[in-house]
Amino acid sequence: MNRGSSNLLAFVLGAATGAILGILYAPDKGSNTRDKLSYQLDKYKKQLEDLLEDLINGKVEVSSSAKEEGKKVVSDARKKAEQLLTDVDDLIGQIKSGEKA
């Protein structure tokens, strides 16, 4: 697994773990928890967008010995990152619509 894939996996696992633990142990009111969660998701979305931009611009280098495999991994990571961005946008929309209700 190359560095870009490792970073993406670590990001996704960290974001999911942080969100779950934050919600489970939140001593705050629901509206405050939603605000905090929305803020964190916005921050993670920005990091994911930056990682995706690095993948697109080729800043994540693939060694010459594994160039073909690396291209496949980068392509897969790009698709997953784009899907995660869509999911994060949907989740942020749900959180914000829950605040209005």
Between 26-30, 35-39, 49-53, 92-96, the lowest mean confidence (pLDDT) is in 26-30
Instruction: Sort residue 58 into left (φ over 0), alpha (ψ -120 to 50) or beta.
Output: left
Asked if 19 and 66 count as a contact pair (C-beta separation under 8 A), the reply is no
Angle at 35 between CA 32 and CA 47, to 5 degrees: 145
Burial class (CB in 10 A: 0-12, 13-18, 19+), 81: buried
CA-to-CA dists, residue 38 to 1, 86, 100, angstroms = 31, 15, 14
Q: State which residues form the domain around 14.
A: 3-100
The tokens of 55 are what? 């993948």
Res. 63: pLDDT tops 70? no
Asked if 47 and 14 count as a contact pair (C-beta separation under 8 A), the reply is no
Q: How confident is the model at residue 3 (pLDDT cuts 50, 70, 90)?
A: low
The predicted model gives 68-88 an average pLDDT of: 79
Res. 93: pLDDT tops 70? yes
Split into its structural domains, the chain has a count of 1
Q: How confident is the model at residue 41 (pLDDT cuts 50, 70, 90)?
A: confident
Q: How confident is the model at residue 99 (pLDDT cuts 50, 70, 90)?
A: low
Res. 19: pLDDT tops 80? no
